[in-house]
Structure 1
Amino acid sequence: MEYKRSESFRHILIKPVDVQYSCNVDQQVALTRTGKILDISPSGMSLLVTKQLTDEEKEYPLLLSFCLYKQTIESQGAIRWERFHPEGYQYGIEMVESTQLENMIVSELKQRRRQEVLDAKKGSF
């Protein structure tokens, strides 16, 4: 199950971002766990988790909640690919299309990057 986003804008995070995700199977919460976002774009992300999802859980959308800079972002996403990672399992998530969501992600990433640059300058003196 390999899937490649055809976007030119994908931000690899210097420090992975915590994300809480849940999966509803047959209108019941099947799981609620935490993971890390390794990279993100306005329409998708690479999610690192410690426990592999079951085949049934992979069929249903994930409900994602995370904060890139200051605002909490909530979205739904579908799993497009899976691969083994030394720290667990890595999933490619395609988020539901929304102009508002995409704008919020880009805005938060810009602010986050500005802060990273400022922090790096402070640390170099």
Structure 2
Amino acid sequence: MVYRRNESFRYTFPEIVVISGVLVSELEHLNHKEWKGHIVDISPQGMKVVSDLQLTETEIRQVQLESNFRIDANMIKGYAEIRWYKSYGGGQQLGLYFHEQAEVEGKIIDDLKSRRRKEVLRSKA
């Protein structure tokens, strides 16, 4: 499961941005299981997160992650597939992909712009 994002930009957060949600799966023991973590970096179509999830390779192929996060002012909700993963501390580092969710992409771009404007204004003060 190797995947390299080739998007024009990725934003790396200087502080922890929390993400949470539930698993969506046909596997009964995983469906609606809660998960949480934090975002390492983000682009309009995907993100790298560190999570408390402990999933096997087989399970990873059979789940989607309902993802709820706030970059700036708005709560963003999307459904992501796991493109890659690796063990990280007591959990896993995951590469998530928002497949053809234009509304989610738009919200991510708008909130990143808004957040960056605020960061620039704070640095000038």
Partner residue of 2:124? 121
> Per-residue deviation at 1:30?
4.4
Give the paired residue count: 122
5+ unaligned residues in a row in structure 1: which ranges?
Answer: none
Whole-Å separation in 2 of the counterparts to 1:30 and 1:12: 29
SS of the residue corresponding to residue 70 of structure 1 reads: coil
Deviates more, 1:69-78 or 1:13-22: 13-22
Whole-Å separation in 2 of the counterparts to 1:56 and 1:88: 16
Judged with a 3 Å threshold, the aligned counterparts in structure 2 of structure 1 residues 118 and 53 are, in CA distance, closer, same or farther, namely farther
Whole-Å separation in 2 of the counterparts to 1:72 and 1:57: 27
Deviates more, 1:84-93 or 1:32-41: 84-93
Whole-Å separation in 2 of the counterparts to 1:18 and 1:105: 15
> Per-residue deviation at 1:87?
6.3
Identity %: 34
Whole-Å separation in 1 of the counterparts to 2:116 and 2:57: 36
Whole-Å separation in 2 of the counterparts to 1:85 and 1:55: 15
Partner residue of 2:46? 44
SS of the residue corresponding to residue 33 of structure 2 reads: strand
Deviates more, 1:15-24 or 1:104-113: 15-24
Partner residue of 1:102? 105
Q: Is the CA contact 1:75–1:96 (under 8 Å) kept in the aligned structure 2?
A: no
Superposition CA RMSD, Å: 1.9
Q: What amino acid does structure 2 have at the position aligned with 1:93?
A: L
5+ unaligned residues in a row in structure 2: which ranges?
Answer: none
> Per-residue deviation at 1:56?
4.5
Q: What amino acid does structure 2 have at the position aligned with 1:54?
A: T
Matched, 1:34 2:27: no
Q: What amino acid does structure 2 have at the position aligned with 1:23?
A: L
What is the correspondence of 1:1-125 to structure 2 with a 5 Å cutoff? 1-26=1-26, 28=28, 29-58=31-60, 59-86=62-89, 88-122=91-125
